[in-house]
Amino acid sequence: MKIIALVNNKGGVGKTTSAVNLAAGLVAAGRRVLLADLDAQGSASLSLGLTRADLSPGSAEVILDGHPIREAIRPTSVKGLDILPGSMALASADLVLSAVAGREVVLKDALTPIRGDYDFTVLDCPPSLGLLTVNALTAADFFIVPVTPDYLSLEGLVNLLDAVERIKKGIGKAAGLLGILLTLADYRLNVTEEIGQMIRGYYGRLVFKAEIRGNVRLKEAPSFGKTIFDYDNGSAGAEAYRQLTKEVLKRINK
């Protein structure tokens, strides 16, 4: 099983949208996939048709209380895609984990029993570099950084990659950067083209060719509890996430 984390401490950059639709794209490509929602907002879980009443037991109980992971995993609206839901109980994660010995490896250890059940686990991280994200980077083989092509994101990207390097130095082996994903690109703005080119120029092949443009269908899909493929398979958003999935499979060689 390969584990891929979607990481950016900046909020609203498309981590959840990308986690959900990459996971669904991998299922469409015939892989067995688990999506683990590590965000207290539970957005990934709600996007896949779970109700608020249905979010626990989930990742909070598994990570914070040692609840058996298999009992917390359930199916989603997508056949072949399972989820470990996220809930408000994750809000206390930093506080609870800070007192735990081996606090960085709790998630990695918790995933051990299901390693044979899936080809991929996709981790949707919260918008912070707290202990949940540190756990994700420790458990994951790879991480993807979604960034919106605007000036402040560019600043943030440099700081984020530095911070990830520091975390990795602290914990030994950790996830490698699989790629930078340009998201929510809005070409009605002049800066989009400019900043997008700067990021591509500077990070070169680390930037995925696939680019997720602003797309109304991507914004609408979660309110129907559907992935972009089930909501509007012919949309530009679906096509972009199909292309991303292909690139991910190619980069991981799986």
Chain residues binding ligand ATP by CB under 6 A are 11-17, 39, 43, 127, 183-184, 212, 214-215, 218-219, 222, 237
Query: Which C-beta is closer to ligand ATP: that of 62 or that of 238?
Result: 238
Q: How far is the CB of 223 from Mg ion (least distance, A)?
A: 15
Alpha-carbon span 206 to 212, nearest angstrom: 16
Question: Closer CB to ligand ATP, residue 57 or residue 222?
Answer: 222
Instruction: Pick what 179 binds: ligand ATP, Mg ion, none; C-beta below 5 to 8 Å, kind-dependent.
Output: none
Cβ at position 18, least distance to ligand ATP in Å: 7
Alpha-carbon gap, residue 116 to 100, rounded angstroms: 27
**Least distance (Å) from Mg ion to the CB of residue 9?**
12
Residue 16 binds Mg ion, judged by CB under 5 A? yes
Kindly tell me the burial class for residue 112, based on how many C-beta atoms sit within 10 Å of its own C-beta (0-12, 13-18, 19 or more): exposed
**DSSP string covering 40-72:** TT-HHHHHTT--GGG--SSHHHHHHH---HHHH
Residue 228 phi/psi, 5-degree rounding, is -65, -30
**Cβ closer to Mg ion: 39 or 232?**
39
Tokens at 201, concatenated: 């120029």
Our finding on whether 108 is near Mg ion (CB under 5 A) is no
Binding site for Mg ion (CB under 5 A): 15-16, 43
